[in-house]
Amino acid sequence: MKRQLIKLMQQVKNNITKQQLFLPTETLVVAASAGVDSQVLLASLAQLHAAPKIIVAHINHDMRAQAATEATFVAQQAKQYGFKYEELIWPQTQHPKHGIEAAGREVRYRFLAQIAAKYHASKILTAHHANDVAETFLMKLMRGGRWEQLGSIQWTRAFNAQTDIVRPLLNIPKKDLIAYAHQNNLQWYEDASNQDLNYTRNRIRHTLLPQMITENPQAVSQLNQYARQITHVDEMVTEQVELYLKTVQQTQYWDKIPKSWFQATLKAYLAVEVPNVSIKENQLHQIENLYFNVTRPNGKVVLNKEYELVKTYQKIALIRRQTKVIHRRNSLDNVITLNKWYLLPNGGKFIVKQKVTNPHNLNNSAIIIPIHLEDDAWPLRLRYRKDGDAIGLKNGHQKVARVLIDAKVPFEERDAIPLLTDAHNQVLWVVDYKANWVRPDQVNYEVIYIPDTK
């Protein structure tokens, strides 16, 4: 019996050392209830850490008749061990009518943060144990969701900028804690609400998990192993995804991302770029299917009212949907007359002149676009493209949309490319990309275009 007591205490000591949970010099706040888990944790710390550096923090939620009795008991235990004691009473008059669990969690965290700050504590200890890991695993498994959510409760996690939460009992089964308490004559209180089978966790604790243990006495240990393995795989995936993420953030090209890593990288990309946007599983599948569909070089998936992901060949860009609305509102429809300079949305400028231009008098960056205009072709117009727009070729016509696709213009930018047209809506020039074909002996006008070189 004595050897079993020493074994559990040695396990806690090993956990503290191996997991680097805290140092002997650190001040610790222990979130403690009157339950057996907390009482074993306090008894362990009494043997393993300096009493003046331990503060017991207890919250009386005022939800049960024995709550005040339990608070008095925890205070007495703290005094017995020589620990400081802090208590918060959360009276029923302050309880909300709905969402009491979430409200209670907020009250608890706020109280613990205050106590940690008051004593300059670097760690907050909780009494989570191996059964908690197993129960949480089963709850998440039944609820469904992402596989990485099945990962284990962590030994340490950041609580705030100054303090971490640590769990020294995390790999110790509940039955061992109860055995230790009995063997060491520890007292504790049972929370009657933990027997209420209306709660999912209680049904798992008192019905499902015991049945699994009957089938396999090592069920708690096995579930803990599965949870740890999932956590380990998730960590490896995260490390690899971070490497892929750097590539797509720098280039927007996704062709170097293996298909098996696409969704994981996409999820990480969206979490960084739009952290407040909830991405559904079916949206991830839509984006993946679009990207790997070789028959659709361009396309988009709407994420919400504000954002959409746009595929342009091997690139994926996150676009604010309102930018496309701005293009439509700021419609372009300018009348173009002869011998007058006009500014373009891209920062360049152009002028239409009769064909008398001496190339030696032009700006070095000037581009000459030859055109043929009949008298009834005036006035010319500068506008954005419309459905059905086409440009003349030596043999036939080509749709402007195809001109831009062939030039690999991103899908979201195509509606912002200006066109120069005549009075009959014949496209003379797709700015920066292609001009209407004209026989050299028919050229009677020229567009002189000076791109923006800044």
For 239-299, give the DSSP string: HHHHHHHHHHHHH-B-TTS-HHHHHHHHHHHHHHH-TTSPPPHHHHHHHHHHHT-TT-SEE
The answer to whether 191 and 202 have CB atoms below 8 angstroms apart is no
The span from the CA of 84 to the CA of 56, in Å, is: 6
User: 36-48 vs 67-81: helix axis angle to the nearest 10?
Assistant: 10
Task: In whole angstroms, give the CA distance from residue 46 to residue 65.
Answer: 29
Secondary element (H or E) of residue 201: helix 200-203
The Cα angle at residue 290 between residues 287 and 295, in degrees rounded to 5 = 175
CATH of domain 252-320: 3.30.465
CA distance 262 to 237: 12
Q: Residue 59 region, left (φ>0) first, then alpha (ψ -120 to 50), else beta?
A: beta
- pLDDT for 65 equals 86
Rounded Cα distance between 269 and 263, Å, is 10
Q: What is the DSSP string of 239-251?
A: HHHHHHHHHHHHH
Inter-CA distances, 34 with 40, 76, 189, 199, 344, Å: 10, 11, 5, 21, 75
Looking at the DSSP bridge assignments, the partners of residue 399 are: 390
- Please report, as a single letter, which amino acid is at residue 327: H
**153: which DSSP letter?**
P
pLDDT at 6: 58
- Whether the bond into 91 is cis, omega within 30 of 0: no
Question: Structural domain boundaries of the chain?
Answer: 2-224, 252-320, 331-450
The letter for the amino acid at 113 is: A
Q: Which residue has the tokens 């009518």?
A: 97
420 contacts 447 by C-beta, under 8 angstroms:
yes
CA distance linking residue 133 with residue 202, whole number of Å: 14
pLDDT of residue 284: 94
Q: How far apart are CA 189 and CA 73, in angstroms?
A: 9
Average pLDDT, 10 consecutive residues per value, the chain (454 residues): 68 97 97 97 97 97 91 97 97 89 92 97 97 96 90 95 97 96 95 86 95 96 96 95 93 91 95 91 93 87 88 85 49 89 92 77 78 94 94 94 86 88 96 93 93 72
Amino acid symbol at 75: A
Given the structure tokens 């302050």, which residue do they identify? 94
Beta carbons within 10 angstroms of residue 401's beta carbon: 15
Nearest to 109 by CA among 70, 180, 163, 69: 163
CA within 13 Å, CB half, 74: 29
Strands 298-302 and 315-320: unpaired
DSSP 152: P
pLDDT at 359: 60
Q: Does domain 2-224 have CATH number 3.40.50.620?
A: yes
What is residue 334's three-state secondary structure?
strand
Taking every pair of Cα atoms in the chain, the longest distance, rounded to a whole number of angstroms, is 110
Q: In 216-242, which positions are buried (b, 16+ CB within 10 angstroms) versus exposed (e)?
A: eeebbeebbebbeebbeebeebeeebe
